[in-house]
Structure 1
């Protein structure tokens, strides 16, 4: 326990990353891997006396690991690792710097697979079951459709997933099924999850299992009171 009695700080998660660093590098794509390095750097550089900076840095590392497969040991353990605003000790900073160097080592380039034939379907909510990324296999709106539904440029807290072959995708669950602007509770939760800087982490939270709620948050939209979804996201951010 730390001196405030709020649970362990960053060291347990960093140790877990170090233990499984090779499989993490294999499981994350180039963009996700770069994001993890950035978040570890932010943790190593966070001023120990800036409570909010440390809280955001720890949360950033946690969200950067959300794209890992659900059966990966680190991904599976995330909900059990409490990240709090307590300043990381010297061991955490040293470990973060060491992990940056280890994870930054070059890895063999995978043999590229042929791109699938682009889907000729015009702008519409769609699911691409051929996409290698599970997040891109979820139903989504095109940028044009999201703009139309929002009545202008989509707000920054709306999850936007880049998809070079087809253009940006906005996961469909963020909007009411019958049409209309985004769910207010989705926007509120996305702000907590820093969706503007980590859209993949926010999408993974909505679509993945959640021990706090007892199921994927996306399946509980409209079934649970909004404040319970917000509370679950707040618990993740605050490490409760």
Structure 2
């Protein structure tokens, strides 16, 4: 295994890993991220221990870390050494998902949602930039459920189109508010039109929103 494999796996699964970590482990990772003067390999060993302890048997990241440890016994590379290669670029990752902004509306978090970990477990990609991802005050990433087809779990095409137009990746809270709040142009809450005859008006309403900016 090359070091890049370890780093890529951490990045790919980070939202899911963060959900599995308890608060002391999250605090430990935040402290490691803040330790800019520390030895990268020492920091990487601690990251490895904290992450590995949170992962169940069979998890792909745990298996990758275990493979590196076994490989290390041959004298070639260590899991901590692999992590140390790029630990300087992992500061933002180790801090975990961003906290909600100070002015975040808690009613948006109260809407029906699925965690990033559960969505990934269903075979889908929670990191899709065309999806709304909201991080609650416990650090759990949640995806509002109105975005998905109830049977397949896939994103609804009209939701993807609107989210892309309104830039949900850059402003997830604002776009969630658009979908779940009252809309004067539509005279209803936009999400209520999904799956109805009025669904075709959503994209036009989103364009009208942009025109007002």
TM-score, scaled relative to structure 2: 0.48
Higher gyration radius (CA): 2
Q: Which is helix-richer, 1 or 2?
A: 2
After TM superposition, the score normalised by the length of structure 1 is: 0.43
